[in-house]
Amino acid sequence: MEREETIARSIDNQGALILALQEKLRDFGLTKNESKIYIFLSKNGPKKAIEISREESIPRTETYHLLSNLENKGIITPSIQRPTRFSAVMIEKAIESIIENQLKRIDELKLLKDDMVDLWNSFQNIRHNSKSDFLKFEAAMKKYAKSDRLRANFKRNLKEMRHKSDMLDN
C-alpha cells in the first residue's frame, strides 16, 4: 500500500513537472502542442509522427505541421530512415536554437523598420490627401449650390422685375 502511494505521488509530481516544463517552453515561444511534443520526444526517444499523434492526442495532420515547425526551430531532428522518426535535441541546444532564431527575427525586423515607416508615411499622406481632396470637393459643391441658388434667385428677381415692368407699361 505504501509503495502504491509513493508511485502515485511520483506520477503526480511528474505531471506537475511536465506542466511546469511546458509553461517554460511557452515562455520561449513554443505553442502548447509544440512543447508537448518536445517533452514527449525528450522523455521517450525517437518516435514516428503517428506514434506522437496517438500518444499526445494531437490530430495527425496537425502533428506533421508541428513537427515541421519544431524542426525549423532546430529543436528536433528527423531520422534518415523510413518511416521517419523524430528526436528531441538536448535542452541546452534547443534553447540556444530558439534564442538564435529570435535574434535573427529581431535583426529582420530592424531591417524592415525603415520600409515600414516609409509605408506608414505613404498611408498617412494618402489618407491626408484624401481628406483634403474631400474637403475641396465639399467646398466646391457648396459654392456650386450657392451659385445655383444665386442663379435661381437672379432668374426669379429678373422675372419679377420684368413682370413689374410689364405692369408699369400697361
Half-sphere exposure of 50 (CA within 13 A, CB side): 3
Give the model's pLDDT for residue 116: 77
Non-local (6+) Cβ contacts of 97 within 8 A are 73, 74, 75, 89
pLDDT at 158 over 70: no
User: Contact, 86 vs 72, CB < 8 A?
Assistant: no
Longest dimension (CA), the chain: 131
What are the cell numbers at 76? 528536433
Residue 138's alpha-carbon distances to 124, 126, 129, 145, in angstroms, are 21, 18, 14, 10
Contacts of 21 (CB under 8 A, 6+ apart): 35, 39
pLDDT at 113: 82
> What is d(CA 42, CA 91) in angstroms, rounded to the nearest whole number?
9
DSSP states along 16-38: HHHHHHHHHHHHTT--HHHHHHH
Q: Which helix or strand (DSSP H or E) is residue 88 part of?
A: strand 85-88
pLDDT in tens, 44-80: 999 999 999 999 999 999 999 999 999 999 999 999 9
Q: Name the more confident of 2 and 5.
A: 2
Domain limits, the chain: 2-89
Cis upstream peptide for 46 (omega within 30°): no
| More reliable by pLDDT, 49 or 160 | 49
pLDDT tens-digit map of 89-144: 999 999 999 999 899 988 888 887 887 787 787 777 766 665 666 666 566 666 65
What pTM does this model have?
A: 0.63
CB neighbour class for 161 (10 Å; exposed up to 12, middle 13-18, buried from 19): exposed
CATH number given to 2-89: 1.10.10.10
Residue 97 pLDDT:
93
* Distance, first Cα to last Cα, the chain: 131
Q: Residue 84 — pLDDT band, cuts 50, 70, 90?
A: very high
163: pLDDT strictly greater than 90? no
pLDDT confidence of residue 147: 65
